[in-house]
Amino acid sequence: MAETLTTPRPPAAGVGATRSEEVLVLDFGGQYSQLIARRVRECGVFSELLPHTIDIEEIKRRAPRGLILSGGPASVYADGAPRLRGELLELGIPVLGICYGMQAMVLELGGRVEGASVGEFGRSHLHVREHGRLLAELPDEQSCWMSHRDTVYEAPPGFTALASSSESPVAALENTERGLYGIQFHPEVVHTPYGGAILTRFLEDICGCDMSWTAASVVEEQVARIREQVGNGRVICGLSGGVDSSVAALLVHKAVGDQLTCVFVDHGLMRKNEGEQVIAAFRDHYKVPLVAVDAEQRFLERLKGVTEPEQKRKIIGAEFIRTFEEQAAALGNPKYLVQGTLYSDVIESGGGHGAATIKSHHNVGGLPDDLEFELVEPLRMLFKDEVRQVGLELGLPERLVWRQPFPGPGLAIRIVGGEVTKDRLEILRDADYVLQDEIRSAGMYRELWQSFCVLPGDLRTVGVQGDERTYGYVVVIRAVTSDDAMTADWARLPYDLLERVASRMINEIPQVNRVVLDITSKPPGTIEWE
Ligand code: XMP
């Protein structure tokens, strides 16, 4: 089932409200805004991304140690460009403006921002003229990542211009007395080698943070929160084998023990041994009450003759819900449902701030809106990498912690252009196993976002093995690198690895006589084939 289930959720605000030390990122719509919050957390300071329109009283109430103004796609002069409210610069809280955030600050305070004839996109060279407080102890010359067309030509009165680049006369500035700082480049991306150092300088030296937050510190806090929410109520959790639902379940189990029952619906569309691994980890190792439902038969029955991708998804989604509801009823309909909702889901679904809409197909295999559960969402404030850290902290096996994303409808959407049958699932599972095995042995599993096989269901091709003509299945290898599945590139797997994979597949799986590699990036392709 999908790692991300959706039913209505409470608003995000207040997630970090009890934390004594936090730095808030105000979102002006930049593509890297989430990443800024992630980097701040990596530095050891809790951070949340909030809309730039957030009520100033709310900021005062939370009393963050610092504010970061994100980048944004607009020109500060564009119609409807998000405006920076001057009061935000008067709160006595240090402010760091990044890219658009800096330009908006400069504009507000009377400096000069203009559209440059040439934009500056990608790697650029930063020349530090004065180090000031923000760039103290950093090299005079460094590379950085830029993405802007408007440029600051003159710092506002009272500010010191610290650095320039080829297209930015003022690429960094500060007013230490007022606690206002700005950089034109993006410290949050890896292509700015001193980005982490600059963020640390801002957080530690300028905001005075103690830099001690870790994802693991969330464990105790969440355990307390879950206990408070659930009391002595009964809780149910749909386990998918993915890291999100696994970590969420373990946190809840730590909080309320056997009040939790996990339900693992094995729809027969999982990868090889995956169901057994989930059962071994939860039931045997963690002693979490677990109902494992062998539902292969009924899913395959419903999928008979179906080839159209969306129809498959609908059928699997509906069947999943039916199975889950039956189990919930058998357990006396617990009041609470655990969901592995992540912070990025909260942001993407607009829970944080009316931003982008979530990709609808990601919810297939999830639960519908009208189920009568109260949600327990212990991962609502965590990014994916942080969930992994918490998983490791809780002793979750590495295999589960680092598992690549796997779609809710499972292998059913990887048998394309033909019916999903048990035989074909077996072939695909075996092929997938060979691929994973070789990729793991080559130490490449973690660097790939996803690696899997696709089986064109009705297609056969001619081959020759021994002295005999064969007529067999084609297996497609699909391996991609990506940060977030929104875009992806095909992975350049080494030739010798590909050769081993192909020859093992053909030797070990009698029905397969040809192996091909998918070299389409996303866009224009998608990661899955349907
Ligand atoms: P695409 O194929 O659209 O996939 O590039 C992007 C990411 O979403 C996953 N995916 C799904 N996940 N239910 C899911 O839970 C689905 O129906 C589904 N379809 C695609 C895909 O594996 C990739 O990670």
What pLDDT sits at residue 15? 41
Rounded distance from Cα 454 to ligand 1 centre (Å): 14
* Catalytic residue status for 131: no
Q: Which residue in the block uniquely carries the two structure tokens 């690895």?
A: 497
> Burial letters for 250-284: b for 16+ Cβ neighbours within 10 Å, e otherwise?
bbbbbbbeebbbbbbbbbbbbbbebbebbbebbbe
State the Rg of the chain over Cα.
26
User: Which residue in the list 52, 148, 186, 361 is annotated as catalytic?
Assistant: 186
What integer pLDDT is reported at residue 486 of this predicted model? 87
Q: Which of 282, 288, 292 lies closest to 259 in space, CA to CA? A: 288
Distance in angstroms (rounded) separating the CA atoms of residues 266 and 322:
13
pLDDT of residue 475: 98
Integer Cα distance of 279 and 425 in angstroms: 21
Q: Which residues line ligand 1 (CB under 6 A)?
A: 2, 313, 361-362, 364-365, 405, 407-409, 450, 485, 522, 526-528
Confidence (pTM): 0.85
| Residue ranges of E strands in 240-289 | 260-266
- Reported as type and span, the H/E element at residue 34 is helix 33-42
Q: Rounding to the nearest 10 degrees, give the CA dihedral for residues 216, 219, 221, 225.
A: 150
The CB-side HSE value for 110 (13 A sphere, CA atoms) comes to 4
Tell me how many degrees the CA angle 231-232-237 measures, rounded to the nearest 5: 90
- Contact at 8 Å (CB) between 241 and 278? yes
pLDDT at 321: 93
Residue with tokens 């599972």: 429
CA atoms of 23 and 26, how far apart (whole Å):
10
Atom 7 (ligand 1) nearest CA: 485
Tokens (6 digits) for 401: 């912690």
The beta-carbon contacts of 171-179 under 8 Å, at least 24 apart in sequence, are 171/126, 171/144, 172/126, 172/128, 172/134, 172/135, 173/102, 173/106, 174/132, 174/133, 174/134, 176/132, 176/133, 178/89, 179/92, 179/93, 179/94, 179/95, 179/206
Per-residue tokens: 409: 């409808």
> Residue 285 has what DSSP assignment?
I
The single residue listed with the structure tokens 């691929």 is 435
Under a CB-based contact definition with an 8 Å cutoff, are residues 308 and 416 in contact?
Answer: no
Q: What is the DSSP string of 380-418?
A: TT--HHHHHHHHHHTT--HHHHTPPP--TTGGGGGEESS
- Residue 499 a catalytic site member: no
Please tell me whether residue 316 adopts helix, strand or coil conformation: helix
pLDDT reported for residue 369: 63
Question: 224 Cβ partners below 8 Å, 6+ apart?
Answer: 255
pLDDT at residue 372, as a whole number:
81
Q: How far is the CA of 405 from the centre of ligand 1 (A)?
A: 8
Q: Whose CA is nearest to atom 3 of ligand 1?
A: 526
Measured distance CA(530)–CA(528) in Å, rounded: 5
- Check if 99 is active-site: yes
Ordered mean pLDDT values, 10 residues apiece, the chain (530 residues): 36 44 95 92 96 96 97 90 96 97 97 89 95 97 93 97 95 98 96 96 98 92 97 96 95 98 97 94 95 97 97 95 95 96 82 36 52 90 94 93 95 97 98 98 97 98 94 98 91 98 98 98 95
All domains in the chain, ordered by first residue:
17-206 (3.40.50.880), 215-401 (3.40.50.620), 416-517 (3.30.300.10)
Q: Per-residue b/e over 126-142, b at no fewer than 16 CB within 10 Å?
A: bebeeebebbeebeeeb
